[in-house]
Structure 1
Amino acid sequence: MHTVTLRDLMRIWMLFLWCASCNCGPDPRKREALIRLEASRRTGGNITLNEREKLLDGKLQKLKQHDMEARQFPPSMHFFKAKHLIDQSPVFSLLQKMPKGAALHVHDFAMVGVDWLVKNVTYRENCYVCFTHEQTVRFIFSSGQPASRPHCSSWTLLRSLREKIIKSSAFLDRCCIIKLYFIRNLTLFTEDPDRAYPSQDTVWKRFKQAFLVAYGLVTYAPVFKDYLYEGLRQFYEDNIMYVEIRALLPVTYELDGKLNNKDWSMRACQDVVRRFTANYPDFLGARVIFTVHRGINAAEAVKTVEEAMTLHRNYPDIMAGFDFVGQEDLGRPLWYFKDALSLPEDRGVNLPYFFHAGETDSQGTDVDQNLMDALLFNTTRIGHGFALARHPVVKEMSRKMDVPLEVCPISNQVLKLVSDLRDHPAAVLMAEGHPVVISSDDPALFGATALSHDFYEAFMGFGGMSFNLGTLKELVINSLRYSSLPSQTKKKAIEVLLVKWDKFVSESLL
């Protein structure tokens, strides 16, 4: 991050005076000085590249130029239409290999590619399915026939359903159809997103439905643990070394119907993370940001914050803090929850906040004040912050408090805040050197990789040819700098990251 100093202001003023006093046209030296000064303000503008990094940056710029000049520029297109183009890009291939530090804004039930859910979960014993009146599906595991539920067909054992299909003459086609049907219900992907999702409310409705489809699968206790482990594995495979997960910590269930509480879920997360880091020693771990839907009332919020304080006290190594989730425009604003959110400070308890705020284009509403209120409640980071550029005072507060935005490009586009990612407000913020990290929000629902697709969209869409290897280096360092890790752990993590970075640079030059 670059803070404007008095020296910077004096340099700009002197350049202005020189330009104003000259009657013979602009001086090329002054023009070059302005270009350098503006470049120094950008994210990564103060990163000094060594000789090998400069060589890789030259290679990267040539690769970027190719994508910029292509007939179809992926960031200008909807991700569902652009994904196949991105996958073929040498820039994307390089970004996949790049160590990306941490993913700091990811939701629990949207981490794992849906192919894994269909292939590895729906084929398990005792998995039942029902088909809703809205032409979606629900799943549940049960040792016997589950009780019927409203607006849903009778439960069918999936194994029996597949056996019936196999007996038919066209079982291969039908098996493929049912697999695709399940996958389509678990993601938002569609060939024609503009037609399928004409409004924010439409896409958010489909978004919430996809979570409900996954819910019965992932809240089955054995799957809950396997899912988290697989999520960490998929993020690790995308060269991510640390993850912070927004988790609802829902009630999980056993095959006999026994229910497990949030304490069980936290212990399960703790156990899975320990097991994963034992198997992958260069993975730094994961922490949970406990979340609740922003539609709850004030009394429920008090109980939830009290529960969050207890979880944070009991599981300090795995529990990072608290946040609200859900469609911001339809939820209650942060100020509505002021009494609940003031409880930790009133009781002398430390409960870090990581608020979603500014994920809206409804300027001037109560929801539009969430950004200001998030800072007043001393949020550690701001989730999305799409509206921040329209609030100059709050933007300056965020910069002075060094509170970064968790920018999730693909999510903002799919959920219809912006259509062309070159127009994303983060482009302006990063040009000013505002603190940001890049994350992926719900990659499984979008059919994206854990983080590489979002890095491509940000790197190519927000900065075009002005972003370079220094931009990428600062972004990946930011991801650990602004994590909730303890300061000493954070320092060591950045040292490990830089070793991985140097290895990446060397290998990319071969």
Structure 2
Amino acid sequence: MPDPGQREVLMREEASRQVGGAVRLTAAERRLDAHLHWLKKKEMAAAQFPPAMHFFKARALIQRSPIFKLLQKMPKGGVLHIHTSSLVSVDWLVKNVTYRPHCYICITWDNSVRFLFSSRQPFPRWDCLHWQLLGALRAKLGDPSDFDDGLIRNLTLFTEEPDVAYPSQDVVWEKFEKAFMVAAGLIAHAPVLKDYFYKGLEELHNDNIMYLELRSGVSRTYELDGTIHDKVFTLNMFQQVTRQFVRDHPDFLGARIIMAAHRALTLSDITSAVKEAIQMQRDFPDLVVGFDLVGREDGEKNIWYFKDALSLPAQIGVRLPYFFHAGETDDEGTEVDGNILDALLFNTTRIGHGFAMAHHPLAKEIARKNNVVLELCPISNQVLKLVSDLRNHPAAVLMSEGHPLVISSDDPSLFGSTGLSYDFYQAFVGIGGLKANLGTLKELAINSIRYSSLPSHLKESGLLVWQNKWNAFISSYSGQPHHKGTPTLS
């Protein structure tokens, strides 16, 4: 018969290897951890278990969860993977922005919508032959509630019957990319973008997030008279708004931008985008931190296709950090599946999604050796039909092995979520299962600052601010006094 003592040693050894397994918890933290464990067992035994359901159907259940409510109050560090066009809740775009003067709308040939702010009747174009002033249109409707709900449906993927509306990845991705086009005319209006970005920081801050790294194509913005501003204008605006937000909220660490280009572009286009990112990083060294390729990986060119463009910084002796989307696929063995190894070949700083990482033992080994963290976006992976039951997400393997992870939200406004609390819930309750504990949550939050692009001295000060917030959070549940200091993982 095996030795019971040896079995206990094996159990402890395995538990110590998971994400958060080496985190030493205080007495107050252990009490909260025991309470969380009890709550999680209760939710896992319920007839409807949210991580096993599509998020669109589970959202209301999650909102009622005591674990979710606790996670909303938890200081989560930073969000390192989120896109500009989905930073702010769709309700605000419709109920605030589309009610502003000079906002025009048109219905396209495929029953989508486009928006444009203009001081005069906009000219027809190929996809928009007839523009209508939104204010005048609403005046004819009486109660505009149903109309506004229709606008919201154009700006989000959310639906009551997701499996019927999106029977395949192709269908959901078509709606996904179309929603970005719908939002573009609103967000790219210069006065709107300024308010939009501040509102986005506010929504993150309200979810107890203290730092942002934004994937952005840095769109050219426009004025009512048709004036088009260049990308330098947009970056200056981001910088000014960030500084104002930090003045208004001194506990917020700031925001930085990862410039992005769509992988559907040509090699020549990507070469130009890389050169532009190099120049913008020189001009805005405290704002622009690197470069990424965005868009659906399946069916598009892989990272290696753009090798000449991506090799350019090294050839001219410039360091341009990469933050590649890679492995956002379930097509194992295809060329796209090789994106994770290609991303590592180009010394990516982080890997966005990495859904396929668990199938690449060498990539896991290299990533861990080089401290390349994986940006886990659970809700995005489920909504875009890579996995249906989040208990089966391949990141469960990575979490149990202690692979470096951060939790991110990708495109929250398109999924009907905000901030990070929903994704933390899905990762903690669904992917992590009963093994994930308060140490897991603590390490994931710390990782979001540790693996950010902040310089070392700002990481240190940021971790101190976060630790004090964490201590206050623990104290609010335990009645224990606050203690100052920096977080430890050993």
Give the TM-score category using the shorter length. over 0.9
1:300 and 1:96 map into 2 onto residues whose CA distance is: 41
Residue 343 of structure 1 corresponds to which residue in structure 2? Answer: 312
Residue 461 of structure 2 corresponds to which residue in structure 1? Answer: 492
Q: Which amino acid aligns with 2:132?
A: T
Partner SS, residue 75 of structure 1:
helix
Residue 410 of structure 2 corresponds to which residue in structure 1? Answer: 441
Residue 8 of structure 1 corresponds to which residue in structure 2? Answer: none
Residue 20 of structure 1 corresponds to which residue in structure 2? Answer: none
Residue 232 of structure 1 corresponds to which residue in structure 2? Answer: 201
The gaps in structure 2 that reach 5 residues or longer are 480-490
Map Cα deviations across residues 321-360 of structure 1 (whole Å, 9 max, x no partner): 1001000112211111111111111111111100000001
Is 1:159 the counterpart of 2:128? The answer is no
Residue 268 of structure 2 corresponds to which residue in structure 1? Answer: 299
Residue 120 of structure 2 corresponds to which residue in structure 1? Answer: 144
Is 1:407 the counterpart of 2:376? The answer is yes
Candidates 266, 273, 288, aligned match of 2:257: 288
Q: Which amino acid aligns with 2:108?
A: T
Larger radius of gyration between Structure 1 and Structure 2: 1
Candidates 103, 106, 109, aligned match of 1:133: 109
Runs (4+) off by over 2 Å: 149-153
Partner SS, residue 258 of structure 2:
strand
Candidates 460, 470, 473, aligned match of 1:504: 473
Q: CA deviation at 1:150?
A: 2.4
Q: CA RMSD in A?
A: 0.8
Candidates 255, 263, 277, aligned match of 1:308: 277
Candidates 5, 20, 31, aligned match of 1:55: 31
Determine if contact 1:94/1:508 at 8 Å carries over to the other structure: no
Residue 15 of structure 2 corresponds to which residue in structure 1? Answer: 39
Structure 1 window deviating more from structure 2 (227-236 vs 142-151): it is: 142-151
Q: Which amino acid aligns with 2:283?
A: N
Map Cα deviations across residues 156-204 of structure 1 (whole Å, 9 max, x no partner): 0011111112xxxxx22xx111010011111000111011101111000
Q: Which amino acid aligns with 2:60?
A: H
Determine if contact 1:56/1:509 at 8 Å carries over to the other structure: yes
Residue 369 of structure 1 corresponds to which residue in structure 2? Answer: 338
Map Cα deviations across residues 285-325 of structure 1 (whole Å, 9 max, x no partner): 00000000001111112111111100001101011110010
Partner SS, residue 99 of structure 2:
coil
Q: Which amino acid aligns with 1:349?
A: V
Residue 423 of structure 2 corresponds to which residue in structure 1? Answer: 454
Map Cα deviations across residues 119-158 of structure 1 (whole Å, 9 max, x no partner): 1100101000011122221100001000112243510001
Is 1:30 the counterpart of 2:6? The answer is yes
Q: CA deviation at 1:82?
A: 0.3
Map Cα deviations across residues 228-281 of structure 1 (whole Å, 9 max, x no partner): 110000000000000000001111111100101111111111111011111111
2:443 and 2:276 map into 1 onto residues whose CA distance is: 36
Partner SS, residue 246 of structure 2:
helix
Candidates 228, 238, 241, aligned match of 1:269: 238
Q: CA deviation at 1:27?
A: 1.5
The gaps in structure 1 that reach 5 residues or longer are 1-24, 166-170
Partner SS, residue 253 of structure 1:
coil
Is 1:253 the counterpart of 2:222? The answer is yes
Relative to the length of structure 2, the TM-score reads 0.97
Partner SS, residue 351 of structure 1:
coil
Relative to the length of structure 1, the TM-score reads 0.93
Determine if contact 1:289/1:321 at 8 Å carries over to the other structure: yes
Residue 67 of structure 1 corresponds to which residue in structure 2? Answer: 43
Structure 1 window deviating more from structure 2 (387-396 vs 407-416): it is: 387-396
Map Cα deviations across residues 420-472 of structure 1 (whole Å, 9 max, x no partner): 00010110001000011000000000011210000000000112111110000
Determine if contact 1:408/1:438 at 8 Å carries over to the other structure: yes
Partner SS, residue 60 of structure 2:
helix
Map Cα deviations across residues 37-56 of structure 1 (whole Å, 9 max, x no partner): 00000000000001110111
Residue 3 of structure 1 corresponds to which residue in structure 2? Answer: none
1:69 and 1:111 map into 2 onto residues whose CA distance is: 34
Partner SS, residue 244 of structure 1:
strand
2:146 and 2:128 map into 1 onto residues whose CA distance is: 20
Is 1:200 the counterpart of 2:169? The answer is yes
Percent of paired sites with the same residue: 58
Residue 111 of structure 1 corresponds to which residue in structure 2? Answer: 87
Partner SS, residue 252 of structure 1:
coil
1:133 and 1:298 map into 2 onto residues whose CA distance is: 31
Q: Which amino acid aligns with 1:417?
A: L
Map Cα deviations across residues 10-66 of structure 1 (whole Å, 9 max, x no partner): xxxxxxxxxxxxxxx121111111100000000000000011101111111111111
Determine if contact 1:427/1:462 at 8 Å carries over to the other structure: yes
Determine if contact 1:44/1:472 at 8 Å carries over to the other structure: yes
2:88 and 2:403 map into 1 onto residues whose CA distance is: 31
Determine if contact 1:248/1:291 at 8 Å carries over to the other structure: yes
Q: Which amino acid aligns with 1:229?
A: Y
Residue 391 of structure 1 corresponds to which residue in structure 2? Answer: 360
Candidates 61, 74, 94, aligned match of 1:85: 61
Is 1:355 the counterpart of 2:324? The answer is yes
Q: Which amino acid aligns with 2:460?
A: K
1:279 and 1:330 map into 2 onto residues whose CA distance is: 44
Structure 1 window deviating more from structure 2 (55-64 vs 88-97): it is: 55-64
Alignment coverage as a number of residue pairs: 479
1:476 and 1:277 map into 2 onto residues whose CA distance is: 20
Residue 482 of structure 2 corresponds to which residue in structure 1? Answer: none
Candidates 378, 383, 399, aligned match of 2:347: 378
Is 1:184 the counterpart of 2:153? The answer is yes
Partner SS, residue 21 of structure 2:
coil
1:258 and 1:81 map into 2 onto residues whose CA distance is: 43
Q: CA deviation at 1:473?
A: 0.3
Partner SS, residue 328 of structure 1:
coil
1:462 and 1:215 map into 2 onto residues whose CA distance is: 34
